[in-house]
Structure 1
Amino acid sequence: MTLFIAYLIVFLLAAIPFFEIVGVIPIGVIAGLHAVPVTILAFIGNMLTILLIILLMDKIIGWFEKRKEKNPEKSKKRERRAARVWKRYGLPGLAIISPILIGSHLGVILAMGFGGTRKQIAVWMTASIFFWAIVTGIVSHYGVDFIFSQTGRSGFLEDLLKR
């Protein structure tokens, strides 16, 4: 049951906006969870909220505009960064770089604001998140495996469960 809860936490963290798969997957693998289910659950969790944002875009853009009024400098900095990527590389570039640069959830909102269609955004964000999930899962698995083989330790979750 404890492992189920650990995997559920990975899923929920990946579903929370601004907790990106490039952060959640390594945390899950370092915790001692298997990389394949962590990667799959993180991908599904992140995609569910991305698709939800795309479906509820009109309401979210209204909320985002109100939030932007409260802290204009922080929002403008991220928006300028995303606008530069959009002008240079379009939707594919924004989709590929947003999980690392500005967050996939914000990337979806900005892509809609810049004129992308829901279908295009869904396709490109799915491809991007899939790509980053696979890369992060592989790097996390082999990186953590290498580190733990050098130290002779296991993940902190496994250590906690042994006590």
Structure 2
Amino acid sequence: MQFAKYLSVTIASTIKFAAGPLSGAALGLTWIETALCTMLGMMISVILVTFAGAALQALVSRFRSAPTKRFTKRTRMAVRIWKRFGMTGIAFLTPLLLTPIGGTVLALSFGVNRGRVLLYMLLSAIPWAVVQTLFFYLIPGLKGVAG
């Protein structure tokens, strides 16, 4: 049953980074188990999007009825982050504001090479997994709610 808990935290982190620490605390995992699974979940998303991104983009565009808007509030914010902070800023903000998928897509859309995306996202995932996990574990009554 422990494997199912690890898998749940990992899968939760592939979609939204903060879901990993939250679910790990609720499932009664130790903070280190939760942090590792959270980091692993983010990196699975980053790897999948990095290496299968072009195929996924082609698939999505086949089913999209209208072309996407080029200049939206979100794209303007992304350009501001990129111009000001580059890949470091995107990687830093991915676990906080962006999703692992969104941050990776954003980095790749600015032409960052795959190896650099993987390295920066890993260097961001490690400390943020620890910080966010410890934050959720310090909330009284949360740890072990579902366990």
TM more than 0.5: yes
Identity %: 25
Q: 1:58 and 2:54 equivalent?
A: yes
- 8 Å Cα contact 1:96-1:128 kept in structure 2: yes
RMSD of aligned alpha carbons: 2.6
1:116 alignment partner, SS class: coil
Q: How far did residue 108 of structure 1 move?
A: 0.9
Displacement after TM superposition at 1:63 (Å):
4.3
Summarize deviations over 1:29-61 as a string: whole Å, max 9, x none.
Answer: 133222111111121122122112111232234
Q: Is 1:95–1:124's contact at 8 Å kept on the other side of the alignment? A: yes
Residue of structure 2 aligned with 1:45, choices 41, 44, 56: 41
In the superposition, the TM-score normalised over structure 2's length comes to: 0.82
Shift >6 Å, 4+ stretches: none
Q: 117, 121, 124: which one pairs with 1:125?
A: 121
Amino acid at match of 2:146: L
The aligned residue for residue 82 of structure 1 is 78
**Distance in 2 (alpha carbons) for counterparts of 1:7 and 1:112:** 29
- Is residue 156 of structure 1 aligned with residue 142 of structure 2? no
Q: 1:25 aligns with which of 21, 26, 32?
A: 21
Confirm whether residue 136 of structure 1 aligns to residue 132 of structure 2.
yes
Structure 2: runs of 5+ lacking an equivalent:
none
Unaligned runs of 5+ in 1: 159-163
1:112 matched to 2:108? The reply is: yes
Q: Which has the larger radius of gyration?
A: 1
